[in-house]
Amino acid sequence: MKNQKQKDNKKRNSNLNFENKHLILKSVSKNSFIKKPVRWNSELKATGSTAIASNNLVNRCILTGRKKMFHKSFRLSRLSFLKIARKGLINGLKKSIK
């Protein structure tokens, strides 16, 4: 389980670096105040690098590393979400009264 979390963190960091570079290249290519050859080169680099960094990121639970039944807004799996919710550790979340 620990190894999966490390691999996931590594993938996310590399994907974050790629996204930052891609955004910079796209902004340079759309800037009309920069000379045309520079804009063309940045656009070529931006389009050519998309195939290199096509990582498939998997959403995982922060606590357990489980990837099934993932709750997106809390970044927890169903099981760990229920445990924490029953203890009352999530702000603004109460057990319903019928």
DSSP lists the bridge partners of residue 77 as: 70
| CA neighbor of 65 nearest in space, from 12, 10, 9, 13 | 9
Output the pLDDT for position 32: 87
Predicted pLDDT at 22:
85
Kindly state whether residues 44 and 73 are assigned to the same domain: no
pLDDT value, residue 1: 64
CA 95 to each of CA 75, 81, 83: distance values in angstroms, whole numbers, following the listed order? 20, 13, 12
User: Do 68 and 87 fall within a single domain?
Assistant: yes
Q: Do residue 72 and residue 45 come from a single domain?
A: no
Instruction: Note the Cα 6 to chain centre separation in Å.
Output: 14
For residues 33 and 45, state if they share a domain: yes
Q: Same domain, yes or no, for 48 and 85?
A: no
Do 42 and 83 share a domain, yes or no?
no
Task: Work out how many domains the chain is built from and give that number.
Answer: 2
Domain identity same for 76 and 53: no
- pTM for the model stands at 0.52
Domain of 2 in residue numbering reads as: 1-58
Residue 76 backbone dihedrals phi, psi, to 5 degrees: -130, 155
